[in-house]
Amino acid sequence: MSTIGSFALIAALALSGYCFLAGLLALLFSKHPASAAIGETARRAGIATFAAVLLAGIVLVVAAFNNDFSIAYIFHHSNRDLPAAYKFAVLWSGQEGSLLFWSLLLAGYGFVLRLRYKTDQRLFAYASVIIAAVQVFFLLILNCAAYPFATMQGALPQDGAGLNPLLQYPEMVIHPPLLYLGYVGFTVPFAFALGALIMKYPGEKWIHITRRWTMVTWCFLTIGVFLGAHWAYAVLGWGGYWGWDPVENASLMPWLTGTAFLHSVMMQEKRGMLKVWNMSLIFATFLLSMLGTFLTRSGVISSVHAFAQSSIGAWFLVFIVLTLGVCTFFLVANRSYLKSEHKLESLVSRESSFLFNNLLLLVVCFTILWGTFFPILSEFVQGHKVTVGPPFFNRVAVPVALLLLLLTAVGPLLAWRKTSLESLKRNFLFPAVGSLAIGVMMIVFGVRPWEDPSFFYATMAAVLSALVIFTVISEFLRGGRVIAGKSHQNLLSAMIHLCHRNTRRYGGYIVHFGVALVVIGILGTPFNKEVEREMGFGDEISIGPYTLVCQSYTQDDNPNYANEWAIINVFRGGKQITTMYPERRFYKASQQPQTLPRIYPSFREDFFLVSDLYLVYEGRNETTGQPIIKAHVNPLVPWIWIGLIVMVFGTIVALVPNAAAVQIAATTPVRVPAHVGAGD
């Protein structure tokens, strides 16, 4: 089995190497009569690369299903009793497998790109060569430094060491693939951008070609980041969802620059502005994706998510420096091609709101990058490391993020080129009054923003989220009314029609709405409550509006793990609303314990102010044998996941092609000749 995998990897390296070199030669000597034929062979070699990497991936998964512990990777990351779904997850649960998975996704993207080459043959040829270069890098690592088909020495083990218990959770089957689809996907717009820059491609065609690629990639990355947060919430059992861990930060940085790119690219499309900026943003996004991978795998930064320290960090560092050098060289050499066609006319305009939105997104990104690398800098300057943890990021990034939220609300109300104060006032009145009312309501209901900075930030976040939501609603209402007035539809149909006519704009508004919901979910954090107590039969815990009564506690055993759990009846207002089973498992193969919290979102009891009741089985008191239960009440958290669904929905809407303009039948009076009678 490992021989087939090894052969597939070597073949993939040879094919992608040929795709890169032959493609490069065909582009360099494009006037030579043989260049077209060589270019075509390069394209086909690129397509064949996908087949070879796919074969290597399939071999690894089949080996996991067949419990082939002669392959060291399978021995270290699987075991006989691992459920079938998690055998797929074996592919990305270790360093070598995840690099193979990365390479497979890149080959997949390259495959689709090379099949669609007729859209613009020359630009696609450049993009194909650049993707092949990245592919060669990954395949070199796989063949030389992180070989997934290495075999075990000596006697074959009877069983594997098992998959990390933290990864044995349904979301782990989809979270890494989606995150990787996001990371890897940014290679495509990067390749088109660099290709367009190298060939001084006129116009904005590369942006039109990559717009959907970028949005789909961004959507994958968004889902990946949020599923990671949800996994942390549902599995790690500390009651939170974001710990500002370096690996979490690594996924957020390209998301931030990618978001900035999605906004600023509109300025280039509509007004021919910010061309250097857009190029720099997409280069930064790709490089940050690589940097994230470097952080995870180099051992430079300590993280709970990081793979073991290995030599591949140096490979990534060289690749990042090389890519940065190439990008910078072409940006400087071809800067004359990137001159803006228009200038900004006013500070109060859509363009300047995009400019400031980009600035704030990049400042947040810089803060995260700075905080992630500051321990290394500190060690270099002071001789000792310092920790840069959640208190730093919360204190620095949150105020900037609030400014960003303000711009998210105000931006859509500004017109391109220039906005008059009157129109701004007119459009802003309803959202501003509504959001201020929300702030006043919060104070009336007992939130005291002046007592604690966290309450202040929570109030500000609530007011600004409301501002975003009211802005989006007012934009839909205003547009819907115009359509309804002209086409005599009801308001809802008119709004759907409106959305269909400019899917990108209104899809974007829906994404903003989702972002506001996510912020609402986050702002509940200062109001979290927690209680920890040992619970015997019939013991009670009171937390928030809930009373928890321990009905019983028990244990079970299966081939994969032994587990124990408590049966907790949950009462509210004297009435039992549910029963929860917080659990602790002990995985036999890996000999590791794992808690499995249980979460009850109170949608039925309080829809808008929904909160999560979150129970963790912490362990047993060794003396009494009774379970120790930690209960959290986390207000508003479910809105984060609802916000994600809305964001994804908005992105899907934005991806739908625009409908043709509504044909409004105007009634024109027609003079009927007097002699024409009825029935004629």
Residue 299, classified by CB atoms within 10 Å of its CB into exposed (0-12), middle (13-18) or buried (19+), is middle
Using the rule CB under 8 A, is 169 a contact of another protein? no
- Window 602-631: contact mask with another protein (x via CB under 8 A): --------------x-xx----------x-
Give the strand pairing for 598-601 and 611-620: antiparallel
Give the CA diameter of the chain: 108
Q: Which is nearer to another protein, 234 or 577 (CB)?
A: 234
Using the rule CB under 8 A, is 591 a contact of another protein? no
Using the rule CB under 8 A, is 422 a contact of another protein? yes
Q: Of the candidates 3, 121, 309, 423, which one interacts with another protein according to CB under 8 A?
A: 423
Using the rule CB under 8 A, is 165 a contact of another protein? no
Measure CA of the first residue to CA of the last residue in the chain; give whole Å: 85
Size of the site for another protein (CB under 8 A): 63
Distance CA 118, CA 107 (A): 19
In sequence order, what are the beta bridge partners of 534?
A: 628
Using the rule CB under 8 A, is 382 a contact of another protein? yes
Q: Of the candidates 3, 387, 552, 624, which one interacts with another protein according to CB under 8 A?
A: 387
DSSP E strands: which ranges in 201-248? Answer: none
CB atoms within 10 A of CB 130: 26
Binding region for another protein (CB under 8 A) out of 6-14, 32-40, 52-60, 237-245: 237-245
Closest CB 385 distance from another protein, rounded Å: 6
Q: What is the 3-state secondary structure (H, E, C) of 472-519?
A: HHHHHHHHHHHHHHHHCCCHHHHHHHHHHHCHHHHHHHHHHHHHHHHH
**DSSP assignment, residue 71?**
B
Q: Of the candidates 384, 575, 671, 675, which one interacts with another protein according to CB under 8 A?
A: 384
Interface of this chain with another protein, residues 215 to 234, rule: CB under 8 A: none
CA distances from residue 108 to 5, 111, 121, 482, 506 in whole angstroms, order as listed: 18, 5, 19, 45, 31
CB atoms within 10 A of CB 179: 22
Which amino acid is it at 385?
Answer: K
Closest CB 78 distance from another protein, rounded Å: 25
Closest CB 344 distance from another protein, rounded Å: 5
Distance CA 306, CA 539 (A): 40
Across 24-44, b (16+ Cβ under 10 Å) vs e yields bbbbeeeeeeebeebbbebbe
In sequence order, what are the beta bridge partners of 555?
A: 564
Binding region for another protein (CB under 8 A) out of 57-65, 290-298, 479-487, 559-567: 479-487
Binding region for another protein (CB under 8 A) out of 67-75, 339-347, 564-572, 672-680: 339-347
Closest CB 600 distance from another protein, rounded Å: 19
Using the rule CB under 8 A, is 392 a contact of another protein? yes
Q: Of the candidates 54, 61, 400, 543, which one interacts with another protein according to CB under 8 A?
A: 400
Using the rule CB under 8 A, is 23 a contact of another protein? no
Q: Of the candidates 482, 492, 645, 656, which one interacts with another protein according to CB under 8 A?
A: 482
Closest CB 368 distance from another protein, rounded Å: 9
Q: Of the candidates 37, 347, 376, 609, which one interacts with another protein according to CB under 8 A?
A: 347
Q: Which is nearer to another protein, 310 or 349 (CB)?
A: 349
Using the rule CB under 8 A, is 381 a contact of another protein? yes
Q: Of the candidates 198, 363, 531, 642, which one interacts with another protein according to CB under 8 A?
A: 363
Task: Say which residue the tokens 């979150």 belong to.
Answer: 614
Q: Which is nearer to another protein, 78 or 427 (CB)?
A: 427
Q: Which is nearer to another protein, 10 or 363 (CB)?
A: 363
- Window 289-328: contact mask with another protein (x via CB under 8 A): -------------xxx------------------------
Q: Of the candidates 385, 500, 504, 533, which one interacts with another protein according to CB under 8 A?
A: 385
Q: Are the beta carbons of 71 and 1 closer than 8 angstroms?
A: yes
Binding region for another protein (CB under 8 A) out of 119-127, 165-173, 329-337, 352-360: 352-360
**DSSP assignment, residue 566?**
E
Using the rule CB under 8 A, is 663 a contact of another protein? no
| Angle, helices 312-333/275-298, rounded to nearest 10 degrees | 170
Task: Say which residue the tokens 């009678």 belong to.
Answer: 677
CB atoms within 10 A of CB 382: 9
Interface of this chain with another protein, residues 239 to 258, rule: CB under 8 A: 239-240, 243, 245
H/E run at residue 552 = strand 546-557
Binding region for another protein (CB under 8 A) out of 144-152, 160-168, 210-218, 414-422: 414-422
Distance CA 446, CA 570 (A): 26
Using the rule CB under 8 A, is 563 a contact of another protein? no
Distance CA 410, CA 401 (A): 14
Closest CB 363 distance from another protein, rounded Å: 5
Q: Are the beta carbons of 625 and 637 closer than 8 angstroms?
A: no
Q: Which two tokens stand for residue 124?
A: 């696609």
Using the rule CB under 8 A, is 362 a contact of another protein? yes
Q: Of the candidates 359, 496, 531, 652, which one interacts with another protein according to CB under 8 A?
A: 359
Which amino acid is it at 341?
Answer: E
Binding region for another protein (CB under 8 A) out of 135-143, 348-356, 432-440, 552-560: 348-356
Q: Of the candidates 5, 23, 57, 237, which one interacts with another protein according to CB under 8 A?
A: 237
Closest CB 62 distance from another protein, rounded Å: 35
The SS3 call for residue 570 is strand
Using the rule CB under 8 A, is 440 a contact of another protein? no
Closest CB 669 distance from another protein, rounded Å: 24
Going by C-alpha positions, the residue among 70, 94, 62, 90 that lies closest to residue 78 is 90
Distance CA 285, CA 194 (A): 13
Binding region for another protein (CB under 8 A) out of 259-267, 326-334, 499-507, 564-572: 499-507
Using the rule CB under 8 A, is 355 a contact of another protein? yes
Using the rule CB under 8 A, is 341 a contact of another protein? no
Q: Are the beta carbons of 462 and 442 closer than 8 angstroms?
A: yes
Distance CA 248, CA 304 (A): 10
Going by C-alpha positions, the residue among 8, 206, 213 that lies closest to residue 110 is 213
Binding region for another protein (CB under 8 A) out of 253-261, 413-421, 433-441, 462-470: 413-421
Q: Strands of 611-620's sheet, edge to edge?
A: 529-534, 627-635, 611-620, 598-601
Q: Of the candidates 7, 65, 374, 430, which one interacts with another protein according to CB under 8 A?
A: 374
Binding region for another protein (CB under 8 A) out of 316-324, 410-418, 437-445, 559-567: 410-418
Question: 356 CB contacts (<8 Å, ≥6 apart)?
Answer: 407
CA distances from residue 230 to 104, 295, 363, 365 in whole angstroms, order as listed: 26, 22, 25, 22
Q: Which residues make up the interface to another protein (CB under 8 A)? A: 236-240, 243, 245, 302-304, 343-347, 352, 355-356, 359-360, 362-363, 366-367, 370-371, 374, 378, 381-382, 384-392, 395-397, 400, 415, 417-418, 420, 422-423, 479, 482-483, 498, 501-502, 505, 584, 593, 595, 616, 618-619, 630
